[in-house]
Structure 1
């Protein structure tokens, strides 16, 4: 009897795909998106032939999509675990910002690879995907306004500002790898707490 994962693939196939994705992340982070050839990926994954990559992925576009999905899903799982223990909109906003910063600091290779994919044009712009990314932040902000925690402001503008601030950290780390990420996160938390809270009456 063949053991399968939730997607109907055999465990062996799933493990091989994960191995190739992990190797691709490392290669892109080291050499850049344009130079992430199947030959380099196969060597990093200790595969005997690039045909093993082609067997599991129809082409580079499909492989890059899998890499992007894996990194983004990992970010989502980490952020969700932090948000689950927050009991207010302000707490959720704080948890989200710190989760994004902490994940970036702890997974620099993955985040560098994602940045290289974006800069290299490997991630096609998708307005719906943008909404999916900013949407959770908008929901937090709308809850805060509804509960009277946050002042009135344009939720789309504020959510976009929050998202772009946390997404900018990988780019900043490229220029300043010694950056204190914890301090960066605290400054963002303070910035957006001041920007969203109700003014004292």
Structure 2
């Protein structure tokens, strides 16, 4: 029995859902379609079918495909953050961001820094610091060479390093 014949033989009863539940249903269908068929093949018709709604209902809640896809991406990232973040203590970062924001705002008040979003700058700055620390942790030989080289140059002798000659 084909899908349309099955639908006629066993009509599915629509369930009344509030707006938040309906949006969640549509987003879940969208995520499933993208996961199974890829972004390019994720048509609104296929998403509607998988979500168990009409294509018109998707248009009612989302102005276009891009808006739906964007919301699906935001939902996915939020779910990942909640699942991963539940196991990570992020209070260190929040305290660090707040201290950095305060420092940036003080620089702006003094006139030494131009106007910018201090939160974005704090997160970006901390990301750069974390990347640098991660690099240095994985390249401890480079770090020791960087620290020892100036001392060796000043004393004229190499400290713990073999000379090239």
TM-score, normalised relative to structure 1: 0.41
Q: Work out which of the two has the higher radius of gyration on C-alpha atoms and give 1 or 2.
A: 2
Q: TM-score, normalised by structure 2?
A: 0.49
